[in-house]
Amino acid sequence: MPLSLLLFLIAGLGGVAWLSARAKASALAGVGGPRLHSVPSYHGWYVALWAVVPALLFLLVWQIVSPALVTDAVLGTPAASSLPADPMGRQSILDEARSVASGELAGAFNPAAEALAPAYREAGSRYALIGAVLAVILAFAGGLFAFTRVRSDFRARTKVERLVMAVLFLASLIAVLTTLGIVLSLLFESMRFFAQVSPAEFLFGLNWSPQTALRADQAGSSGAFGAISLFWGTIFIGAIIAMIVAIPLGLMSAIYLTQYARPAARRWLKPALEILAGVPTVVYGYFAALTVAPAVRDLGVTLGLPASSESALAAGLVMGVMIIPFVSSMADDSIAAVPQAMRDGSLALGATPSETIRQVLLPAALPGVVGGILLAVSRAIGETMIVVMAAGLAANLTANPFESVTTVTVQIVQLLTGDQEFDSAKTLAAFALGLVLFVVTLLLNIAALSVVKRYREAYE
């Protein structure tokens, strides 16, 4: 029986359980009957849940367990006695036979696998049938058990609500599990990387060339994992060039929009700025590579500096533009949070609006603005597509913005696309870089939030 049909059947049983339990509860309550503790539909839900949930849980377990049972059954058949004894060869034949039995492969290359396929098919359908029958029995048993408990004083609502609360709690645990998953997977793979490359070399080495040689006599690809030039490239693009663009433009935009712009203009300009934040990064990357990079290179050539077609400046400029709305909205919030009395006091003393902004509002809002800038930096250094498309791959330790530099995120993408073998230092290096990126963005976020929090407390 196909799984979808089985699920449909169980859902149907649940529906029947709901209807019959509600009918029974309504009948109990009938005219002149006892007063129910819970409304009839809660009795319905209680019985339906008893019918459906255990059966589904059983099916889930069965899906995990049954392949092993099927394999055992196949190994017990006479056809399996001729299998080779070594585990590798045995496993490959079994896998092939399974693919043939399930129809993924039209025919087997190995005659032994071909011979095992019917056994697989037979055992598979037998265990599927057993699972289906057990699930349906479980659904009936659960439903009947719950149905007998439906009485006028039965607290169906409390029971159902307890389950609802459990589901809510489990849903909120997913976030913790995700964080845990990120930390553990990064840590685990990084450990394997650091078993091959020493952490000191990774964090302080200057030479980055992750291509490991296939043969010992190949030249030039020794596999060096000194990530300093990547860290420098990331900081150069994300924290220096992008911020030189984003901080003045974002801050001045926020000041103009909150202090000077007429409401009508503000209503149009603010969403326009927000669109900048909504443009996908791949579009920015394409724009940077196709339009900005050639212009930047021409500028570099005019200035007489060594310029390459992929430059830190092009990527940084476009990234700065992407960050503008971010800085602007954070600055907007913190300026708006400065008490009106401070502004009024300054204006009443005869200061012009710009003097008020520069000498009263900005100093008061500074912690919030700094927090916003820290968050913006954390976003900029984690940004991937713009730098992948516009910043280049060569690990250069240069301060010339017209030259190509590479960043942590570019190298992660570079190391993990194409062929991967999961124990080479090259692939694992991506996880070590990811760990560094994760830790740095986490620290920046924590710092930003604590700055913002302390500042909020000052005015409350």
Residues 108-167 that bind other proteins (CB under 8 A): 157, 161, 164-165, 167
Residue 205 within binding range of other proteins, rule CB under 8 A? no
Q: Which long-range contacts (CB under 8 A, 24 or more apart) does 335-343 make?
A: 335/254, 335/255, 335/258, 335/259, 335/361, 335/362, 335/365, 335/368, 336/258, 337/365, 337/368, 337/456, 337/459, 338/364, 338/365, 338/459, 339/459
Is residue 173 near other proteins by the rule CB under 8 A? yes
- Closer residue to other proteins, CB minimum distance, 183 or 338: 183
Residue 189 is given by DSSP the state H
Which one, of 161, 166, 163, lies nearest residue 39 by Cα?
161
Establish if 195 lies at the interface with other proteins (CB under 8 A): no
Q: Is 303 in the site for other proteins (CB under 8 A)?
A: no
d(CA 416, CA 275): 31
Residue with tokens 């910043």: 391
For residues 308 and 349, the answer to whether their CB atoms sit within 8 Å is: no
Residue of 8, 145, 204, 260 that binds other proteins (CB under 8 A): 260
Nearest to 377 by CA among 455, 448, 289: 448
- Do residues 292 and 390 make contact, with C-beta atoms less than 8 angstroms apart? yes
Q: Residue 213 is encoded by which pair of tokens?
A: 């040689």
> What is the token pair recorded at 165?
């609360």
Using the rule CB under 8 A, give the single segment among 20-28, 293-301, 306-314, 323-331 that binds other proteins: 323-331
Say whether 103 sits in a helix, a strand or coil: coil
Among 103, 422, 457, 458, binds other proteins (CB under 8 A): 422
Binding span for other proteins by CB under 8 A among 89-97, 107-115, 117-125, 255-263: 255-263
Q: Does residue number 221 form part of the binding site for other proteins (CB under 8 A)? A: no
User: x/- contact string, 326-345, with other proteins (CB under 8 A)?
Assistant: --x-----------------
Q: Near other proteins by CB under 8 A, which window of 16-24, 99-107, 147-155, 282-290?
A: 282-290
The verdict on 313 binding other proteins (CB under 8 A) reads no
Verify binding: residue 301, other proteins, rule CB under 8 A: no
The rounded Cα 408 to chain-centroid distance in angstroms is 18
Question: Nearer Cβ to other proteins, position 126 or 267?
Answer: 267
Q: Which of 207, 413, 426, 447 touches other proteins (CB under 8 A)?
A: 413
139 vs 389, beta carbon nearer other proteins: 389
Q: Does 282 bind other proteins (CB under 8 A)?
A: yes
- Spatial distance between the Cα atoms of 139 and 148, rounded to a whole number of angstroms: 14
If one asks whether residue 383 binds other proteins (CB under 8 A), the answer comes out as yes
Q: Which stretch binds other proteins (CB under 8 A): 46-54, 66-74, 374-382, 452-460?
A: 374-382
Using the rule CB under 8 A, give the single segment among 8-16, 210-218, 222-230, 373-381 that binds other proteins: 373-381
Calculate the CA dihedral of residues 401, 404, 409, 414 and round it to 10 degrees: 180
Q: Is 272 in the site for other proteins (CB under 8 A)?
A: yes
Positive or negative: CA dihedral 342, 347, 350, 352: positive
Please, what is the minimum distance in Å from the beta carbon of residue 128 to other proteins?
A: 19
Candidate segments 83-91, 303-311, 408-416, 452-460, binder of other proteins by CB under 8 A: 408-416
